[in-house]
Amino acid sequence: MPKISCKILDNINKIDRKQWDAVFGDIPESYSFYRTLENSEFTGFRFYYLVIERDHEIVLIAPLFSTDFNLDIAVEGWFSKVIRSIRKVFPRFLILKTLFCGSLFGEYGVLGIKSDFKENPEFIRLLSDGVINFSTKINAPLVIFKDFLKQDTFFLDALMQEGYSKVKSFPAVILELNFVSFEGYLKSLGRSTRKNLNKKLKQAYSQGKIEVKVARDVENQIDKIFKLYENTYYKGDTKFERLSKKFFLQVAHDLNPHTHFFLYYIEDKLAAFNLCFVYNDLLIDKFVGFDYDISKRYNLYFVSWAYNIKWCIDNSLRYYYPGQTDYEPKARLGGKLISLYAYLRHKNIFSNFFIKLLIFILKPDNFNKDIRK
């Protein structure tokens, strides 16, 4: 009878890279990706790995991280104002230390599982027990399996038998670019959208000199890039992770040649950037930053969108992931929303019952009009 064991590791270097690749395969959230996260000094985040072995062979790896989590992350409008008012009296209202299973900011959650082990009905129980026991050890009362694709729910739905609640997350967005030219992409859009995009691009380029540079080493620009990132971070309604300056330097070094910085200069001044990763036939638009005094006047959101599409087509990349949030323009410009799902469980039986009720109120499509559309 095979010997099965479960352990938690606090550093990816404690996992053999060949065994990691054997269960995950060739995916963007690679061994180097998680090592970069560990080395990037994210305030308030700790990274771990649940490893299940069968006769000393790794058959499952689940990336974990812990942080404080706002259960009201999806809330907007008057409800958000009510919660902020309550927090003046109770600062931790709806904020819980949480252990997550999944990627900090991947496009969706991924578990590394040997195919024959995935069919074993006991693996979900082993995984859940390991995560719950560790959450108790680090005093994280809430556990969340974060942002998994629909095809993953066929085996993750078994978590609901372990007391978890299932809820829709913020969806991912993807564009499939089966075009030989940018003009072919434009023809795929609705008439009014195509006309509006062409108008914005023409207005932008007629106002001044716009230059785009694609770079991998940005050390000499890091202060400007980080300032643009912070502009966008503080302007956004939905906040989860806050990147560090070191992260931008680490990805340029550790994830080369996948890392690409798209730098937008207006009259030789850096006014916007996209941090993107290229994997096989996929461009992932991870993070953006804007100088809003300039970007609105020059329509840099649409300039960068058009440039990314052109760059994908010119470099024979079939898929473009433009990131979560800001769904309405992305959908109009050809993006398809991909449903993602999360599973939540609180260690306290009464709090867990409360969360089951709460998630029906706080789910993203109750507050985000773009998702509802």
What domains, with CATH codes, occur in the chain? 4-171+339-372 (3.40.630.30), 173-337 (3.40.630.30)
State CA 308 to chain mean position distance.
19
Would you state the structure tokens that stand for residue 159, as one six-digit string? 């978590």
Which pLDDT does position 5 carry in this prediction? 87
The residue with tokens 């026991």 is: 133
Packing angle, helices 31-38 and 245-254, rounded to 10: 150
Q: How far apart are CA 345 and CA 108, in angstroms?
A: 19
Q: Are 332 and 175 in contact (CB under 8 A)?
A: no
Q: Identify the three-state secondary structure at position 215.
A: strand
The continuous run of DSSP H or E covering 59 comes out as: strand 57-70
pLDDT at 52: 93
Helix or strand holding residue 180 (H, E): none
Nearest of 297, 296, 298, 322 to residue 309 by alpha carbon:
322
Q: What is the pLDDT of residue 236?
A: 65
Give the pLDDT of residue 237: 61
Largest CA distance in the chain: 73
Q: What residue has token string 């690749």?
A: 21
CA 266, CA 300: separation in Å to the nearest integer? 10
CA neighbor of 167 nearest in space, from 302, 345, 27, 348: 345
Chain centroid to Cα 10, Å, comes to 21
- Name 1's Cβ contacts closer than 8 Å, sequence gap at least 6: none
Write the DSSP symbol of residue 364.
G
Describe the strand order of the beta sheet including 282-290 as a list of residue ranges. Answer: 210-215, 259-266, 269-279, 282-290, 319-321, 172-176, 336-338
> What is the residue-level pLDDT of the chain in tens, covering all 373 positions?
678 889 999 999 999 999 999 999 888 888 999 999 898 888 888 999 999 988 888 999 999 999 988 766 655 555 566 666 766 665 666 678 999 999 888 788 889 988 776 666 678 889 999 999 999 999 999 999 999 999 998 889 989 988 899 988 889 999 999 999 999 999 999 999 999 999 999 999 998 899 999 998 898 999 999 999 999 888 766 556 788 889 999 998 889 889 999 999 999 999 999 999 999 899 999 999 999 989 889 999 999 999 999 999 999 999 999 987 788 899 999 999 999 999 999 988 887 787 777 776 656 554 455 555 5
One-letter amino acid of 324 = Q
- For tokens 């932008």, name the residue: 204
Cα–Cα distance between 67 and 72 in angstroms, integer?
A: 15
SS3 86: helix
Closest CA relative to residue 239, chosen from 249, 229, 251, 224: 229
| Per-residue pLDDT, 229 | 93
Q: Which runs of E-coded beta strand occur in 159-241?
A: 165-168, 172-176, 210-215
Distance CA 101, CA 8 (A): 12
Q: What is the pLDDT of residue 73?
A: 61
- CA–CA separation, 71 and 311 (whole Å): 38
pTM of the model: 0.88
